[in-house]
Structure 1
Amino acid sequence: MKAIFNSRIIETSDYLIKTSNRSFCYGDGLFETIVTGHGRINLIEKHIHRLKRGCKVLGMEFPNDLEMNSLETMIQKLQAINGFDGDIRTKVIVWRDSGGLYTPNLSSASFSLEVKASNSILFQGIDQVDVSSEIHTQYSPISFAKTTNALVYVLAGLEKKENGLDEVILTDPNGNLSETHISNLFWIKESKVYTPSLTTGCIEGIMRNTLIDLFHKNNIAVHEVEKTKEALRDASSVFSTNASGIKYLKRIGNWNYESPENFLTPIIKQLQQP
């Protein structure tokens, strides 16, 4: 399968990083996962904006070849070369060029681009969910972005697997709801929408921000809050969002929830615009 490394087409099987790679050694890098397709609104520009913000915080140069027009062209080229139809999941990784130890010597960056076919459903339910008892998010100047140091989410994924869950919810050190191990978190109570504040250390998801904008445009109140898991006790519906779409949670521990499909139908239709 073909991928792109610094604008050059390569075979994925040939792509070997050096042991001095700063993403490999120190997690000194960022990534974006972008899902595109005919039935989905184009969110590429928002992904680029978050990537640029992350590069600025890390003091790393943003690769010019990842600007909107060239990134779209590269995605389409890889889709055609690899023979993928339908929705496409693109992973973009940017890392600082080698040099230095904890303190880097350079600000220049390299990048890779890989695409895969995506069968993700835009709206679906999941059954078994619970709140992590051990793993916590932590706010920092870079916590809004997706970094290549994702050990918190790896550990949360292991806890989810060990407990036979479909998803696990993370809290911050103060016990405030933050996010799931792969998505942002929302809940509905009395026709109002709530989502954890970025101060809890949750990632500032592209789909999260898109939904907040759509809620506002549809005159639906959205509150970004610091609340413990008890806030979910009286919620009518709970759902999570990421690049793939929306998943509604049927059960968290012993608490059961209804599907938010009717409430979200106008929003989902707007997400499906070509």
Structure 2
Amino acid sequence: MNFINFNGDIFPATQPVLQISNRSFRYGDGLFESMRMIRGELKFAEFHAERLRNGMQALGLEGVSAITADFLKQKVVELAIRNEEGENARVRLTVFRDSDGLYSPSGNGFGYSVEMSPTTEAQYVSNTKGLIVDVYEELTKPANFLSNYKTCNSLIYVMAGIYRKKRSLDEVFILNNNGFLCETMSSNVFVLFNKTLYTPSLGEGCIAGVMRRVIMEIAGDNDVPVVEAQINPNILNEAEEVFLTNTSRGIQWVMGFNSKRYFNKLSKMLLDKLNESL
């Protein structure tokens, strides 16, 4: 049986724990982190805790100091032991405003939940077949002070996912409200062009991805120039490589966009360096 952690108590995953008045359900009033436990250790816990604290402060939640790397590690290990998941799992931690009220909340305390699902992978594994990706243009993502966090308001990604399935794509690029490249449904974007690695800057509205941060550091350590920029999606027709990053999957390389086909030499090297760092 799979178990979850809800506000510090362990429940069977099939047991209802949310009341209909929960603000994450009613208003998307919360944040979440997607994380990986590899070989019994929660990876990049400091980065996840930092982003979560920053997001909670942006939402005006109280008690932010309780969210530390040690807190995240403890909750993940406790749940893994209860679930008998082994040493490798994907983890989602959700934080929500735990109060009554309509749009104006009656308080700003927070509640949380932790879920996990097992995986057999003890490292990050490359996708053997490159992704086929297109641009989703029906909705754009606004760039504002909440855009860098993984909020519980995820309708743009849901609609992009419906678009992706209808067109039998592997992923879709999401643009910001100014028409520039932002991210994909679940990942940050990197584009290799003229021997320089480009990724949308945080000011363009993309998620401040933990794996984005890690890959930028690894690239810099290996003499690969990295530029955070405003990126016109037309560059996708000229780029040498395009790859996506998130903490759950590591690096996924893109094979095709329209009639353009890409290599994956750099993404493979960075993935090897990422696994070495684990």
Q: Normalization by structure 2: what TM-score?
A: 0.91
Contact conserved, 1:40 with 1:272, CA < 8 A, in 2?
no
Question: Which residue does the alignment assign to 1:114?
Answer: 115
Shift of 1:89: 0.8
Q: Give CA deviations for 1:66-90 in whole Å, capped at 9, x if unaligned.
A: 4222321221122122121242111
SS of equivalent residue, structure 2 residue 190: strand
Q: Is 2:249 the counterpart of 1:248?
A: no
Aligned residue-pair number:
273
Contact conserved, 2:98 with 2:108, CA < 8 A, in 1?
yes
Shift of 1:64: 5.8
Amino acid aligned to 2:168: G
Contact conserved, 1:178 with 1:200, CA < 8 A, in 2?
yes
Coordinate RMSD, CA, aligned: 2.0
Matches within 5 A, 1:1-274: 1-38=2-39, 42-62=43-63, 66-119=67-120, 121-124=124-127, 125-243=129-247, 244-261=249-266, 264-265=268-269, 268-274=272-278
- Aligned partners of 2:187 and 2:210: how far apart in 1? 10
Shift of 1:200: 2.0
- Aligned partners of 2:198 and 2:54: how far apart in 1? 25
Which sits farther off after the overlay, 38-47 or 24-33?
Answer: 38-47
Contact conserved, 2:89 with 2:117, CA < 8 A, in 1?
yes
Call closer, same or farther: CA 1:242–1:215 in 2, change over 3 Å.
Answer: same
Unaligned runs of 5+ residues in structure 1 are: none
Q: Give CA deviations for 1:80-104 in whole Å, capped at 9, x if unaligned.
A: 2212124211110100012221111
Call closer, same or farther: CA 1:39–1:175 in 2, change over 3 Å.
Answer: farther
- Aligned partners of 1:180 and 1:119: how far apart in 2? 25
Shift of 1:4: 0.9
- Aligned partners of 1:188 and 1:211: how far apart in 2? 13
Q: Give CA deviations for 1:178-227 in whole Å, capped at 9, x if unaligned.
A: 11111000011222100112222111111001111222222221111112
Unaligned runs of 5+ residues in structure 2 are: none
- Aligned partners of 2:71 and 2:229: how far apart in 1? 38
